[in-house]
Amino acid sequence: MAHESPKRIRNVALVGHRGSGKTSVNEALLFTAGAINRLGSVADGTTVSDSASDEKAREMSISASLSSFRWDDRKVNLIDTPGEPSFVADALCALRVCEGAVFVVNGVMGGEVTTSRLWERASDLGLARILFVNMLDRERADFFRALDSLKQAFGQHVVATEIPIGSEHELEGVIDLIDMKAYRYDGDGRDNCSQIPIPDELADRAQEMREKLMDEVAEVSDELMERYLEGEEISHEETVAALKTGVTEGHLFPVTCGAATRNLGINRLLDAFVEDLPSPAKRGAIDLDGVSLEPDESKETVAFVFKTLADPYAGRLNLFRVYQGVLKHDSQVHNCRAHVKERIGQLLTPQGKDTEHADEFGPGDIGSVAKLKETRAGDVLAGKDGEIPLSLPAMPRPVMAFAIEAKAKGDEEKMGQALRRLQEEDPTIDFHRDEQTGEQILAGITQIHVEVIVDRMKERFGAEVELHQPHVPYREAIKGSAKSRARYKKQTGGRGQFADCHIEIEPLPHGEGFEFVNAIKGGVIPGGFIPAVEKGVRDAMRAGVVAGFPVQNVRVRLFDGQHHSVDSSEMAFKIAGSMAFKDAMENAQAVLMEPIMMVTVTVPEETVGDVIGDLNSRRGRPLGMDPKGTVTEVKAEVPMAEMLSYAPDLRAITGGQGEYSMELARYEEIPAHIAQSVVQEAAREQEAVKA
């Protein structure tokens, strides 16, 4: 089967806040388009896109799901994305490979935090955007209140192209403001829509909303605006064309409405895909750092892998977008990251968890390929090897960290392998070994994120693990200078051990680390033994004198010493260097240092006061606030020790709408009363190890 023309493709990402009903919208779109025969439900786990067992159990999307179908002789590639902030990576990747995005909005809640964040990303990418106000059959749902909140968040170019007939449980249909026609929906069947006269009680409201729509449409071109202001009638064809131009160029953002679980308004949304959103051909060439990719089948093949699904039995399944040329079954391409050739075996068109075989995918199309050896998300597949600047979008940093260990002894390798496979699927997972504490650290974006990772490790790979609160990586430093002399002398018969060294230590500015200065004169210590002294000092710095934590920001000057022509050795001078450093630390005002994190918290406006109060209670220092639409970004410096349990507390304060990220700012001296408890805890742990 030949590939689809890029003019007849629509690549659409379904995005929005958790609980807005994106998966139900996805299901209704597939059902209305005839791609599936039954309207599934999130509640009973029968939807196409939420097919994984943990998605069914939690009743929410965890991974992006791609489905393809036809509507009005166009191929629509639809990506249903998670709304839970823990799994935002998939939404960001979906936006990267689509020309259009549909923002699904809860008709009760209106614009919410995740919607605002994803809107910013879509704006940065220059995507065409439509909004669908969903769940208008729910109690307290209000289309016009939701519309006002969207205008407040995203500007006055957010404009209704439909309004509902009825509200809450009396929702009946919609009025199309472009055609000025009304439609009633009976039941949830595929052909449940019939045209009716516009209800008298809504005629004035519909006319008022149409005038607002036409005000926005007329702004698309100066010629159209001039005619509109002069009172000239704008034809239906001109209105439709101007609306599409405005949406494509990012000047207009149509708002449609309905209720997905009742299949109400879904056929109108499908029409909007075709009429308002641009095709890959319409969007045209993409310029990336001097490299231009054109939706032209005659050009060299370039495809970008934006999602990897890890399966312990089937191996990797990679979702890709073809930007240029044609990707064919049973062909060879180059992986431009690994610089290896990959054989394209099975090409697939996904429909949720199900797939259909395909022969090829042309420019602008989205598909999947199985069993590539080296390829994973973020890779570029091309006809010839070379540097092509396509990459995954910037991801949020994982901040919820735990120490992780295998439940069963000997399962460490299984645990590591499972996490590496899951990292291929989710680039926001961080798994590393802490060099200071020796702990294996697993970090995710939120508590839910980490819980899902652990559940998938057990279910998919049989790796059971235990999580513990990680140790805070404290450091030790000095506030003063001190000199010390250490002599190591050992005689056990025959050749002995002898070394004598004099050192001076002094503090360095934050971030300077360690500096070793060789100030030996006259050869009192031969040059061959100097590195041994430095090595001994470095070994001693791994465990300071306050509580056994690594020492940082110190300069050590070796200025005098003695050696013996027979008994001196590298080992002796290493031991002497270690002894001298520990002795000097005792007299240099050694202090305990704690990591201070730069924390950025994004919360709804109404919870800012509570969040700042909570940060203050954690010894935090708020640095400022930055309003961004319906949310506010709060920046603060907070000790890491106070942030270990922050995620669930922030969730409680903000009703689940707060998010945060943090990164190391610097180390600071711990207040004396807190340092004492840290020292005592460290002593207890050391005693436990000895026991």
| In a shared domain, residues 635 and 505 | no
CB-CB contact of 597 with 664 (8 Å): yes
Q: What is the pLDDT, as a whole number, of residue 124?
A: 92
**Do 646 and 514 belong to one domain?**
no
Cα–Cα distance, 152 to 251 (Å, whole number): 16
Q: What is the CATH number of the domain that holds 358?
A: 2.40.30.10
> Strands 514-518 and 400-406, how do they pair?
unpaired
Q: How many domains does the chain have?
A: 5
CATH number of the domain bearing residue 579: 3.30.230.10
Say whether both 378 and 454 belong to one domain: no
Secondary structure class of 345 (helix, strand, coil)? coil
Which of 588, 611, 638 is the last residue before a domain boundary?
Answer: 588
* C-alpha to C-alpha distance for 632 and 120, rounded to whole angstroms: 14
Does 99 lie in the same domain as 244?
yes
pLDDT of residue 691: 57
Is there a domain that residue 115 lies in?
Answer: yes
Distance, in Å, from the CA atom of 555 to the CA atom of 280, rounded to the nearest integer, reads 60
Please state, in angstroms and as integers, the Cα–Cα distance from residue 624 to each residue in 76, 599, 627, 635, following that order: 44, 11, 10, 6
CATH number, domain containing residue 642: 3.30.70.240
β-bridge mates for residue 510, sequence order? none
CATH assignment of the domain containing 460: 3.30.70.870
239 lies in the same domain as 335: no
**How many Cβ atoms sit within 10 Å of the Cβ of residue 379?**
24
3-state secondary structure 97-156: HCCEEEEEEECCCECCHHHHHHHHHHHHCCCEEEEEEECCCCCCCCHHHHHHHHHHHHCC
In this prediction the pTM is: 0.80
Nearest Cα to 12, choosing from 95, 106, 123? 95
Same domain, 358 and 320: yes
pLDDT score at 689: 64
**What is the pLDDT at residue 690?**
66
**Which pairing describes strands 554-562 and 514-518: parallel, antiparallel, or unpaired?**
parallel
475 contacts 552 by C-beta, under 8 angstroms: yes
pLDDT of residue 312: 63
Cα angle 299, 300, 301; round to 5? 110
Q: Are residues 605 and 462 in the same domain?
A: no
Give the CATH number, domain containing residue 100: 3.40.50.300
pLDDT of residue 493: 66
Radius of gyration of the chain (CA): 32
Same domain, 486 and 511: yes
Query: Domain check: are 194 and 326 in the same one?
Result: no
- Residues of the chain with pLDDT below 70 are 1, 311-314, 436, 492-494, 629-630, 689-691
Tell which of 569, 588, 607 closes a domain.
588
Contact partners, residue 492, CB within 8 Å, separation at least 6: none
- How many distinct helices (H) and strands (E) make up the chain? 17, 36
Determine the structural domain holding residue 307 and report its residue range: 294-382
Q: Which two tokens stand for residue 357?
A: 């075989």
Q: In the numeric block, which tokens belong to residue 390?
A: 């396509």
Residues 214 and 147 in one domain: yes
Show which of 424, 446, 468 is a domain's final residue. Answer: 468
270 and 146 Cβ atoms separated by less than 8 Å: no
**Phi, psi torsion values for 656, nearest 5 degrees:** 85, 5
Q: How far apart are CA 605 and CA 632, in angstroms?
A: 6
User: Is position 289 within any domain?
Assistant: no
Predicted pLDDT at 160:
97
